[in-house]
Amino acid sequence: MTYHVEGVQIIGTKVTHGKGESIHYVNPATGESLEPIFNGSTLEDVETACKLADSAFDIYRETSPEQRAAFLEAIATGIEAVSGSLIERAALESGLPTARLTGECARTCAQLRHFSQALKTGEWLGVRLATAQPDRQPLPGPDLRQRQVPLGPVAVFGASNFPLAFSVAGGDTASALAAGCPVVVKAHSAHPGASEIVGMEVQKACSEHDIPEGVFSLLYDAGFDVGQALVADPRISAVGFTGSRRGGLALMAIAQNRPVPIPVYAEMSSINPVFLLPHALTSRTEKIAQGFVGSLTMGAGQFCTNPGLVIAVGGEALEHFCTLSKQLIIDAPAQTMLTPGIHKAYVAGVDRLAGNDRAKSIAAGQPGKALGSCQAHLFRTTADAFLDDQSLQDEVFGAASIIVECRDHDQMLEVTRSLEGQLTVTLHMDDDDLDVAKSLVPVLERKAGRILVDGWPTGVEVSDPMVHGGPFPATSDARTTSVGSAAIARFLRPVCYQSFPSALLPTELRDDNPRRLSRLVDGARVAAD
């Protein structure tokens, strides 16, 4: 199915051209402005979208999990039907290669189906029951039943680096819709056309599945006014955001200063340290170097989980690793970055490192001919220097990384303790590295949401146990994940029903357990059947 981009916003069932300032968006590979014109939404549009979302909330949250699951699956099917137009458009707007976007499109649809599946299992409802104890002394014990209920309308900010998987129908939207929350999306202004295509599919799924008007709206913003007004709107109950630390902190401040503060789930910055333990580094130098440079340069390094820091004890094996990595980096072709702004920030970040006496540039990749090309960069420093200069931990978003040479394992531990919060940390280890790994893991657990062994942090699996989150500044809230079914919990809160007559109880709390849920009953887990 071919989709022709019109430059429209979606507010409930209304598809219109925005009346705000027009958005400047370009083909990042050529710098040319793109068509059609997208205008930003107005503050009245924010008001209308939030009002509709609020009106729809009570109806939407009463839909059955099966209905919401079918709705999410319909979105996935719809996106698949327009995937040709969508990928083409996203490639034009983002500079990302078609192969990558084909994968991201499949991931986006698989993610919607993952949440659909999670909805049906009902784990997210967190049902806990306590039987009444009428004869208990000195006082009778009441009948108590707990379930999770949705928070309310959620504001979702599209991410620049995943125009599909973390944007209009990405993880934040999918998990909020699964939870029973209406969503108002603020599209990322770098890929408005791809946002429209996906948005129209979400809207179509709404109408085909009798989802009330207002459960989904899609707004645009030429600057920051629309996004800020959205977070400040009293009907918005939570915020999902993936982007820069500055952007995340700004949204957190708005959310905290509202008359009624709300949670912000901002995924912000991470340099994803990789530890090369001595035996693994010696026995698999080449394989690790290849894996490292592959993970670092993939997609111009524009992943939140890009390996921006490598930590190892100095010696022959590390020198060999550096030599191999250097050559691989030199050969690495350049790739167009997502936006001129991201490219500019990358160049500035690399220049900052190059101008820092504490770091030494050891390799630069192919410079690339297209505008906004990301030339890969590899730096080296010592643990002493790294410990002296906190700025070496600043994320350089793109294909740049620093190798930190430690004197010994004690210093490696010291470097580990000095790290800021991260999304991921990775250990490359052989069996003989087990003792060193055991000394590191307790420190790493305090630093990151995910710890990998012998893998690479890019390529975040959409799965129940996934944690795509981590201590500040990796995210604004380490208690959650933005990928995988546990992400639903971000948009829920518990309610306890005390001494309710059966006729008034929510279905999933009834004695006869019609939803066949696994439940915690009087302190013990009771299976569905």
Helical ranges in 258-315 per DSSP H: 278-283, 285-297
Identify the helix (H) or strand (E) that includes residue 437: helix 434-447
Strands (E) in 251-399, as ranges, are 264-267, 273-276, 309-313, 335-336, 360-364, 373-374, 377-382
Phi and psi at residue 408, to the nearest 5°: -160, -175
Q: Kindly state whether residue 387 participates in binding a copy of itself, applying the rule CB under 8 A.
A: no
Site size for a copy of itself, by CB under 8 A?
A: 82
What distance in Å separates the CA atoms of residue 177 and residue 440, rounded to the nearest whole number? 38
365 near a copy of itself, judged by CB under 8 A: no
3-state secondary structure (DSSP) of residue 522: coil
Q: What is the rounded CA–CA span in Å between residue 117 and residue 174? A: 12
Q: How big is the chain by its Cα radius of gyration, in Å? A: 24
Residue 4 as a binder of a copy of itself (CB under 8 A): the answer is no
- Does 370 participate in binding a copy of itself (rule CB under 8 A)? no
Of positions 481, 482, 513, 515, contacts a copy of itself by CB under 8 A = 481
C-beta of 481 vs 513, nearer to a copy of itself: 481
Site for a copy of itself contains 449 (CB under 8 A): yes
Identity (one letter) of the amino acid at 376? Answer: A
195 contacts 158 by C-beta, under 8 angstroms: yes
CB nearer to a copy of itself: pick between 112 and 200: 112
Closer CB to a copy of itself, 450 or 515, in the complex:
450
Q: How far is the CB of 463 from a copy of itself (least distance, A)?
A: 5
List Cα–Cα distances, 290 to 10, 302, 304, 325, 328, in angstroms. Answer: 45, 18, 20, 7, 7
Query: In this chain, which of 316, 461, 507, 511 binds a copy of itself, going by CB under 8 A?
Result: 461
79, 86, 466, 488: residue in contact with a copy of itself (rule CB under 8 A): 466
Report the alpha-carbon distance of residue 353 to residue 403 in Å, rounded: 12
Helix (H), strand (E) at residue 348: helix 340-354
Residues 6+ apart with CB under 8 A from 163: 90, 93, 94, 96, 101, 104, 188, 190, 191, 194, 195
Q: Does 305 help bind a copy of itself (rule: CB under 8 A)?
A: no
- The residue from 36, 223, 234, 261 that contacts a copy of itself (CB under 8 A) is 261
Q: Is 121 in the site for a copy of itself (CB under 8 A)?
A: yes
Distance in Å, CB of 289 to a copy of itself, minimum:
19
- Return left, alpha or beta for 414; rule: phi > 0 is left, psi -120 to 50 is alpha, else beta: alpha
Q: What counts of helices (H) and strands (E) characterise the chain? A: 15, 21
331 binds a copy of itself (CB under 8 A): no
Tokens for 302? 């524009």
Q: Looking at 308-316, 351-359, 372-380, 454-462, which segment touches a copy of itself (CB under 8 A)?
A: 454-462
Exactly one of 117, 290, 361, 366 binds a copy of itself (CB under 8 A); which one?
117
Q: Which stretch binds a copy of itself (CB under 8 A): 161-169, 316-324, 402-410, 449-457?
A: 449-457
CA gap 290, 507 in Å, rounded? 54
State which of residues 84, 370, 453, 510 lies at the interface with a copy of itself (CB under 8 A): 453
Maximum Cα interatomic distance, the chain, rounded to a whole number of Å? 81
Which of 181, 206, 304, 374 is labelled catalytic?
304
Q: Active-site residue 304, yes or no?
A: yes
Nearer to a copy of itself, 267 or 477 (CB): 477
Give me the DSSP letters along 53-80.
HHHHHHHHTTS-HHHHHHHHHHHHHHHH
Q: For the segment 132-191, give every residue that binds a copy of itself (CB under 8 A).
A: 138-139, 141-142, 144-146, 149, 151-152
Nearer to a copy of itself, 138 or 514 (CB): 138
d(CA 95, CA 119): 35
Catalytic pick among 73, 196, 213, 267? 267
Supply the minimum distance, in Å, between the C-beta of residue 502 and a copy of itself.
11
Q: Which stretch binds a copy of itself (CB under 8 A): 11-19, 90-98, 226-234, 472-480?
A: 472-480
Instruction: By CB under 8 A, tell whether 497 contacts a copy of itself.
Output: yes
Identify which range of 33-41, 187-195, 314-322, 456-464 contacts a copy of itself by CB under 8 A. Answer: 456-464
From the CB of 60, what's the least distance to a copy of itself, in Å?
12
What is d(CA 274, CA 422) in angstroms, rounded to the nearest whole number?
11
Interface of this chain with a copy of itself, residues 39 to 98, rule: CB under 8 A: 58, 62
Determine if 273 is a binding residue for a copy of itself (CB under 8 A): no
**Closer CB to a copy of itself, residue 19 or residue 136?**
136
Establish if 436 lies at the interface with a copy of itself (CB under 8 A): no
CB nearer to a copy of itself: pick between 327 and 390: 390
Is 18 near a copy of itself (CB under 8 A)?
no
422 lines the binding site for a copy of itself (CB under 8 A): no
Q: With contacts defined by CB under 8 A, name the span among 17-25, 33-41, 182-190, 477-485 that binds a copy of itself.
A: 477-485
The region that residue 212 occupies, defined by phi over 0 for left and psi between -120 and 50 for alpha, beta otherwise, is beta
Selected from 318, 324, 486, 488, the binder of a copy of itself by CB under 8 A is 486
Residues forming the active site = 267, 304
